[in-house]
Structure 1
């Protein structure tokens, strides 16, 4: 065997190994779902309960008490604020669950990693896939609610939603690989991720309108704000699900389709590449560190 064929022990071929090990990925996703709901009465129904409770709390606090819901006595509010709010919550919940679980996936599967070798990237990627499974019933509820409110999206709006989901998936996978690897060596990474996830809901227009950001902080800060891929992802969901349920007079962020979606895709892809590079650099000593 030539030296060109030798590889460092414990290091795999990156995300390419995940594609080659699709069957193992399926087994890991199935295992995570079974372990998570073992002994649970509601099981997968928690995918409906958690976002439902979250939605009710935010809707009452912000839509009713703080007047973000448009009404006859409050014309400055957002029309169909319930749809606006839930379409953002659905996407941000997917991100927070995916990143939170992916960041803990290597340490959480330490026993398995120390016993046998399999592509380490499978663990954070499986965590993202599990979050995708939980995302499906939530998006189904959103679609039903939109249909009851006269939802008639265009193909462009549906394509924007797919692009938004792809942006957030790439971002969550990249950050999951990055923090999942770093967390093996520095357990403070978990606390940093928890802090980021706490900020995520408020750092994107889930609960409020993007216009508030521009009006209060100016165009320069708004441009910086738009560089957050989560912001663009949430805005694409508003464009696809909320906007068609209004009279069409509501504005979307300028250049959302022509500028910000491509920029967000590029940033998320760069984060994925960075996460993959860091993961491959650190994975060689996972078994020893765990």
Structure 2
């Protein structure tokens, strides 16, 4: 099992040049033909942050926690941190079921490492997340005048979730070839998952009897740790992070194995 996993990792690493090329093309195509180009990568998260903050903190008068002491600036930063994490998840997972179908020419005409397609999608989403992360850090400096060194732990904290996302993307990309309805199911599940994740509210505001549901949500732990290290300057929950990493590796390996075993039938279905 370990030897097989190492070989899989080595095979993927051998495709790093092709992966990098496809990620650049993916990012370029996203803004191709627009006047502002990549500037939209900065504008879009700022606009969405403004809208969400206005709706929840002004119209609904939402407050962080039970004390209600959180001001609108801190609320915006807390909200934005959660969105940075969730947007990576939602972009990759929502696109995963149609990845192979949208690139059917690679299945039928040439020998192509199809397993890199979910990696390319994740890389593109991560590029946007890094831009949002920079915006968040700048907002912290400008609006609050603070910067915590713990913010540099961002890559370590998000890595377990990235592995889980990649594993799920491989699984859904394969499943989407055989069951076309899976895309519709995912389009319903993602908005539901967004409101079932502690993005617009803290864990402490959830009734005790329902918290076990949130403990099953992998996004929960990443969002909470991200807020700790970036907004409050606290260290993450290391034991929980190790467990998440272990689960992430398992999900990634299982997803990749499933993809490799089922890809043989792609050409027949497409």
- Shorter-chain TM-score category? 0.7 to 0.9
Task: Name the residue aligned to 2:266.
Answer: 286
The structure that has the greater radius of gyration is: 1
Residue 14 of structure 2: aligned partner: 20
Query: Does the 8 Å contact 1:103/1:124 carry over to 2?
Result: no
Partner of 1:236: 225
Choose which of 105, 113, 120 in structure 1 pairs with 2:114: 120
Match of 1:78 in 2: 70
Runs (5+) with no aligned partner, structure 1: 1-12
Task: Tell me how many residue pairs correspond in the alignment.
Answer: 260
State the distance in 2 between where 1:202 and 1:194 align. Answer: 14
Give every structure 1 segment of 4 or more consecutive aligned residues whose post-TM-superposition deviation is greater than 3 Å.
13-16
Contact 2:106 2:112 in 1 (8 A): no
CA RMSD in angstroms comes to 2.3
Alignment correspondent of 1:68: 62
1:14: how far off? Answer: 4.3
What residue is the counterpart of 1:44 in the other structure? 38
Distance in 2 between residues matched to 1:174 and 1:224, nearest whole Å: 21
Distance 1:173 1:163 in 2: 16
Structure 1 residues 130-166: Cα deviation after superposition (integer angstroms, max 9, x where no partner): 11122222111101011121323244x543x333211
CA distance in 1, matches of 2:123, 2:111: 21
Matches within 5 A, 1:169-248: 169-213=162-206, 216=207, 218=208, 221-244=210-233
Q: Tell me the alpha carbon deviations over residues 240-284 of structure 1, each in whole angstroms, 9 at most, x when there is no partner.
A: 12214xxx9xxx9xxx61443223222222221221121111111
TM-score (norm 1): 0.81
CA distance in 2, matches of 1:23, 1:203: 38
Deviation at 1:65, TM superposition (A): 2.0
In structure 2, stretches of 5+ residues that fail to align are: 1-6
Structure that is richer in helix per residue: 2
2:250 paired residue among 266, 270, 285: 270
Residues 227, 264 of structure 1: 8 Å contact kept: no
2:86 maps to which residue? 92
Contact 1:100 1:194 in 2 (8 A): yes
CA distance in structure 2 between the aligned counterparts of 1:197 and 1:57, rounded to whole angstroms:
19
